[in-house]
Amino acid sequence: MLARDRIIVGLEVGTSKVCAVVGEMLEDGNLMIIGVGQAASDGVRKGEIVNMEAAMRNIQSAVAAAEDSAGVEIHNVYASVSGGHISSFSNRGSVVVTNDDSAIGEEEVRNVMLNAKSVSIPVDHVVVHAIRQHFFVDGHDGIQNPVGMVGSRLEVDVHVIHGVRNRLMNTIKCIKQVPLDVANIAVSSFASALAVLTAEHQQLGAVVIDMGGGTTDYIVYREGTVQHSGVIAVGGDHITNDIAVGLKIPMNRAEQLKIEHGNTLVSERSEEIALKREVGMPERTVSKQQLCRIINLRVEEMLMLIRQELEKQNLLDYLGAGVFITGGCARLRGMEALAYQVFGGLPIHVGPGENNKSGGGLAGRPSDISGPTAAIESPEFSTAIGLARYALYSQRDQHQPPTVWQRAGQKFQQLVAKVRMFM
Ligand SMILES: Nc1ncnc2c1ncn2[C@@H]1O[C@H](COP(=O)(O)OP(=O)(O)O)[C@@H](O)[C@H]1O
Ligand SMILES: [Mg+2]
């Protein structure tokens, strides 16, 4: 039996599936995936729990499967959150250094972080992440750690991700009813980025787009830190719905067609796909071109929305490492070529997965994550794998004095604890 404190679990309660990834923290500080459990998700719409009872049962099944697969008991998880209510902005905090010798210490750093976070978010919202970007000392930019420096004014830029408290709490409450403890939460885009980007990608600049069933979660890194993030409440289910409506077929057939014959690119050649007879539906054929046109329109629209947002934020020119597409929809054929068109020639990485035969860059996993190919190569596991990596970092640092960033995390924990008292 593995020592309990070496086991970490990432849990994504997604719109299409609930997925638990069990990781083991290795002696060398790396993460090895030792088990994965999945269950279909039927209590979630557009990334948010709408049926607690159903979601709880799905979590139980996924966790039981993960326990079997890893041969461990699961008591505690890191969970992801998503949904259209999650939004973000960047903010600058500022403090005057009042020490006699103008030396900047931990206290000033703590205060400036608090100041940066004390922004007005809607009253029903809470901060999920306050991610440090850069410090400024007396207006000098790009300082990574100001402790020990001399200055009279300390500033910091942070990326604040916030969401509606009650909706976030629904996820935590649901997991607690399983019953499991929630060690911490992270937004899905942040978790997925941890599963597909290396430190080098983050430094060069990259956008991670996680296209799931009901949401598309994205996050932008530049110069090693998070610059922007967002959630679009549109995902693969909308593609399926478009197919069902466009071809006048039931949703389950549309989903099957999408997976078996779908392509985000429309071929010149016309081809008919035979649909077998089924209750309420006679035998018939559908045009593959029409199917792919429907998919193309929706996926292009989703990618365009993100492109426009990045343009608005003036970030498109800073994506040296390019665009990383993950989540279940990364398995759609032709994704890489379409993304290449939309993002005007930026490097495109799709996956990780073996389904992408379009001849270009597959996104990998960072090298400190290992495990069975089935887990490592599945794009729909990115969020849960990233959560396990998030857990690894949190636990690895537990024996070190807490950093500003961790203290920010602990603040959230306190908040979670406070809210829990009312549950
Ligand atoms: N082989 C495939 N081809 C096309 N789409 C796929 C494929 N496999 C999964 N998907 C789509 O991916 C979406 C689910 O992605 P996933 O990341 O698991 O979602 P979530 O995290 O929201 O539960 C669904 O819309 C599903 O149809
Ligand atoms: Mg997802």
Domain-wise residue ranges, the chain: 87-164, 198-365
Average pLDDT over residues 117-139: 93
Q: Which atom of ligand 1 is nearest to the CA of 215?
A: 22
Tell how far the Cα of 95 is from the centroid of ligand 2, in angstroms: 39
Low-confidence winner among 16-25, 301-310, 338-347, 400-409 (lowest mean pLDDT): 400-409
Tell how far the Cα of 12 is from the centroid of ligand 2, in angstroms: 7
Average pLDDT over residues 49-56: 98
Asked if residues 138 and 97 have their Cβ atoms less than 8 Å apart, the reply is: no
| pLDDT greater than 70 at residue 394 | yes
Helix (H, G, I), strand (E, B) or coil at 368: coil
Tokens (6 digits) for 175: 């997991």
Asked whether 380 lines ligand 1 (CB < 6 A), one says yes
Average pLDDT over residues 8-21: 98
Asked whether 83 lines ligand 1 (CB < 6 A), one says no
**Tens digits of residue pLDDT in 139-185:** 999 898 999 999 999 999 999 999 999 999 999 999 999 999 999 99
The pLDDT value given to residue 165: 96
Band (pLDDT 50/70/90 cuts) for residue 219 is very high
Low-confidence winner among 94-103, 156-165, 207-216, 355-364 (lowest mean pLDDT): 355-364
Asked whether 238 lines ligand 1 (CB < 6 A), one says no
Asked whether 43 lines ligand 1 (CB < 6 A), one says no
| pLDDT greater than 60 at residue 354 | no
The pLDDT value given to residue 237: 98
Band (pLDDT 50/70/90 cuts) for residue 362 is low
Asked whether 332 lines ligand 1 (CB < 6 A), one says yes
| pLDDT greater than 60 at residue 105 | yes
Tell how far the Cα of 342 is from the centroid of ligand 1, in angstroms: 21
Tell how far the Cα of 46 is from the centroid of ligand 1, in angstroms: 13
| pLDDT greater than 60 at residue 64 | yes
Cβ-based neighbour number of residue 4 at 10 Å? 10
Task: Tell me how far apart the alpha carbons of residues 398 and 410 are, in angstroms, rounded to a whole number.
Answer: 11
Residues whose CB is less than 8 angstroms from the CB of residue 293 and which lie 6 or more positions away in sequence, other chains included: 266
CATH of domain 198-365: 3.30.420.40
Q: H or E element: which one contains 127?
A: strand 125-137
The pLDDT value given to residue 238: 98
Q: Out of 11, 59, 259, give the residue to mutate to test ligand 1, the one with the largest number of ligand atoms within 8 Å of its CB.
A: 259
Quote the DSSP letter at residue 150: B
Asked whether 259 lines ligand 1 (CB < 6 A), one says yes
Task: Tell me how far apart the alpha carbons of residues 52 and 44 are, in angstroms, rounded to a whole number.
Answer: 9
Question: Average model confidence (pLDDT) for the chain?
Answer: 91
| pLDDT greater than 80 at residue 423 | no
87-164 CATH pick, 3.40.50.300, 3.30.1490.110, 3.30.70.260, 3.40.5.90: 3.30.1490.110
- Scan for tokens 């306190």, then name that residue: 414
Average pLDDT over residues 67-74: 97
**Tens digits of residue pLDDT in 241-266:** 999 999 999 999 999 999 999 999 99
Residue nearest to atom 5 of ligand 1 (CA): 329
Q: H or E element: which one contains 25?
A: strand 17-25
The pLDDT value given to residue 402: 43
Of the listed ligands, the closest to the CA of 188 is 2
Q: Out of 11, 12, 13, 16, give the residue to mutate to test ligand 1, the one with the largest number of ligand atoms within 8 Å of its CB.
A: 16
